[in-house]
Amino acid sequence: MIAATKDAKNLNIAYIGGGSRGWAWGLMSDLATESELGGTVRLYDINKQAAENNAKIGESLKGRVDVVSSWNYEASDSLQQALTGADFIVISILPGTFDEMHSDVHLPEEYGIYQSVGDTAGPGGLVRALRTIPIYAELAEQIRDYAPDAWVINYTNPMTLCTRTLYEVFPGIKAIGCCHEVFGTQKLLTHVVEELLGEPAPDRREIKVNVLGINHFTWLDKASYKQHDLIPLYREFVDRHFQDGFEAKGTGNWLNDHFASAQRVKFDLFRKYGVIAAAGDRHLAEFMPHSWYLKDKETVHSWKFGLTTVDWRKSNKVRLEEQGSKLASGEEAFELKPTGEEGVEMIKALLGMTELVTNVNMPNTGQMDDLPLGAVVETNAVFGRDAVQPIHAGKLPPALHAHIARHVYNQEAILRAALDKDRSEALRAFQNDPLVSLSPDQAEELFDRMLANTKAYLPGWE
């Protein structure tokens, strides 16, 4: 029971994937500006040099006038060293390399299958899961052996199956999967308030929502601001902006931002089902039938979102590596930027310092109706001292629930296939994905080619 007696100024955080140039830097920034917490962050990464660079960056924050907390940063030599004595564990890793991800995303294009992200659903998401699940199975065993009482905050995709694997291998784990996609939809709803109620756009936390679904295929069937029901207002907002889409001022344009969209997929799904799709368009499109939004590049363009290429990710990685070297050497100063993530707020709530209600991914214990118990779902939960209690969210409309259930059962099949190294089970899940609109023979050919390209991460597969 770490939160009952733990000194909030003497915490131990293990960061798995601590060589990250995105999530790790963000955590450093958020911790630096939280005066009520302090302690040691142990950074572990298979790329030891990257973790050592991040330790130098973290240590460089000491003594700065804009830093209000005291943290020590260390690069750990082993996973065991990072985990031992940890109060909290943050996991943010890249399962494989961008070469494997290039196959995940772009090889299916030879078969007419386009993916806007390729890390959760579709053929890319499935193959990524097959190489990620063994890694997470090992992490679960290590956490069980060296930090069984720690709270685990996972940011890695595929979020659902990463979290599901942790609980499957170590049922006593205290783990949550965290995703910011719902935050973006709350932010969109602040523009509904601004445009239709004539009030200044509020903080997104003032938008109260009921969250239900699975990660990246998440929905809101209730949304309110003060005394206002936002569902009918959102319907009017969608009608106003459906044709041209909506992009808030200062947010960039979907044509020149790899992660932006004009919300047209989100608007179309609201028209179809009457509830608010709460993930970004790039993710939502991958859960729906192939012909809807990802039939070809022209179709994608008409819905005003983009296909994020792995070549861009590779070039961005080089840029971030160069920046990391400059930050570690002191050639460039580390800029504190609030991430908008809630990891630090979660830590405070789990220590009993505050209470928090937010969306998380956890095994279904009844918070979502008519879905298998144990399957990981995304709903709101109440955080308190050493406890996270999911809130009952109900059930989505029948036509939409059918889509959700299909993916849930497919994810369970992928989990079993990965743990059992069962090619036949994995192939059945692959062929059952809505984006894989191929003949059985074509699907198997693509599956085998993708599997061959990731075989280095599939130990024991025949």
| 8 A C-beta contact, residue 263 and residue 270 | no
DSSP 111-146: GT---SS-SSSHHHHHHHHHHHHHHHHHHHHHHHHH
| 8 A C-beta contact, residue 382 and residue 349 | no
Q: Cis peptide leading into 158, omega within 30 of 0?
A: yes
Residue 414 three-state SS: helix
| 8 A C-beta contact, residue 392 and residue 432 | no
| 8 A C-beta contact, residue 79 and residue 43 | no
| 8 A C-beta contact, residue 429 and residue 123 | no
Tokens representing 205 are 């936390």
Among all residues, which ones are annotated catalytic? Answer: 180
| 8 A C-beta contact, residue 209 and residue 222 | yes
Buried b (16+ CB within 10 A) or exposed e, 86-116: bbbbbbbbbbbebebbbbbbbbbeeeebbbb
Residues 6+ apart with CB under 8 A from 430: 123, 126, 436, 443, 447
Residues 6+ apart with CB under 8 A from 327: 53, 56, 57, 60, 333, 334
| 8 A C-beta contact, residue 218 and residue 393 | no
- Cα separation, 109 vs 103, in Å, equals 10
Residue 378's DSSP bridge partners are 361
- Sign of the Cα torsion 48, 98, 217, 235 reads positive
Give me Rg for the CA atoms of the chain: 22
| 8 A C-beta contact, residue 5 and residue 386 | no
